[in-house]
Amino acid sequence: MSMNTIGFLGAGNMAGAIIKGLIASGFEAKSIWVFDRNQDKRDGWAALGLSIAKNADDLVIHSDALVLSVKPQGLKETCESIASAVADHKPLILSVVAAIPAQSIAQWLSASLPIIRVMPNTPSLVQAGASGLFANNLCLPEHKAFAETVFRAVGRISWVEDEQLIHSVTAAAGSAPAYFFRFAEAMSKTALEQGLTEQQARTLIGQTMLGAAKMILETNEDIGQMRKNVCSPNGTTERAIFSFNDDQIDTVVNNAMKACFDRSVELTDLLSQ
């Protein structure tokens, strides 16, 4: 099995982040194929040197691995439209689509195929993505190895054995950049009120998030202990942490992640038939 080309069916926000991350990590642009139904997006990718398919079937024909990257609501129709090309060409199917089980994808493609579900996130753009992966039972080690090559090139990965855990990955990683952006938006607003400029706030808050994230990933220190290390007794940080606790931060975060998880389950129920 040779894996030389990867194709993206639907090239919007998520596929775009992966594609740009892959190019930055040294993937040859010409080996990345794209088909998006919007001409402006196709033109944009062509300008970056990618290979542009004439249509979805043409993309399947040129892809050793095919990434399904359309919205969940459009996946059934999209899969049915390429079923015959997939049956002929048999690419490895990688789906980044939220909520849709591998079994539904196989059914809509009318084929028993190796399928790998991936729940990536947009920091893939800067090769700092976090992707959870699940392989169906037809995947061979080389299929998993290929998926690892692609998603390791744009960040860190974690396999899950139980497909249901993709809902949890969505709540913890796929959707989670937005939580941190929301937090940064709130911090920036206050930083401006406290006298910093927008640029100062962006630099200081962004670098602080990056630094805290690097400490989580690169040291073995307990996260709670790292928090405590910033808090001098009766100092400034302690007051901020007391304020978060008074405002029930655990409940706020728990509610948000549960809402995310529950919507993922709901989308599965709504869209997987």
Ligand X SMILES: NC(=O)C1=CN([C@@H]2O[C@H](COP(=O)(O)OP(=O)(O)OC[C@H]3O[C@@H](n4cnc5c(N)ncnc54)[C@H](OP(=O)(O)O)[C@@H]3O)[C@@H](O)[C@H]2O)C=CC1
C-alpha to C-alpha distance for 204 and 210, rounded to whole angstroms: 10
* CB 167 to ligand X: min, Å: 12
* CB 265 to ligand X: min, Å: 14
Could you count the other beta carbons within 10 Å of the beta carbon of residue 202? 14
Indicate the residue whose CB is closest to ligand A1CAB.
174
List Cβ neighbours of 173 (8 Å cut-off, separation of 6 or more).
119, 121, 130, 131, 132
**What residues from 1 to 40 belong to the interface with ligand A1CAB (CB under 6 A)?**
none
User: Do residues 204 and 196 make contact, with C-beta atoms less than 8 angstroms apart?
Assistant: yes
Encoded one letter per residue, x for contact with ligand X by CB under 6 A and - for no contact, window 129-148 reads --------------------
- For strands 32-35 and 92-95, give the pairing: unpaired
Number of amino acids touching ligand A1CAB (CB under 6 A): 4
**What residues from 197 to 256 belong to the interface with ligand X (CB under 6 A)?**
none
The verdict on 63 binding ligand A1CAB (CB under 6 A) reads no
Q: Residue 9 or 191: which CB sits closer to ligand A1CAB?
A: 9
The verdict on 168 binding ligand X (CB under 6 A) reads no
Q: Residue 63 or 268: which CB sits closer to ligand A1CAB?
A: 268
Could you count the other beta carbons within 10 Å of the beta carbon of residue 34? 27
* CB 174 to ligand A1CAB: min, Å: 4
Binding site partner of 74, from ligand A1CAB, ligand X, none, Cβ cut-off 5-8 A by kind: ligand X
Q: Which of 126, 149, 136, 141 is nearest to 27 (CA)?
A: 149
Stretch that binds ligand A1CAB, among 16-24, 132-140, 167-175, 214-222 (CB under 6 A): 167-175
C-alpha to C-alpha distance for 19 and 119, rounded to whole angstroms: 15
List Cβ neighbours of 47 (8 Å cut-off, separation of 6 or more).
none
Burial class of 189 by CB neighbour count within 10 A (0 to 12, 13 to 18, 19+): exposed
* CB 173 to ligand A1CAB: min, Å: 9
Residue of 50, 59, 98, 171 that binds ligand A1CAB (CB under 6 A):
98
C-alpha to C-alpha distance for 176 and 130, rounded to whole angstroms: 10
Can you give the binding site for ligand X, defined by CB under 6 A? Answer: 9-10, 12-15, 35-38, 41, 56, 69-72, 74, 78, 96-98, 119-122, 174
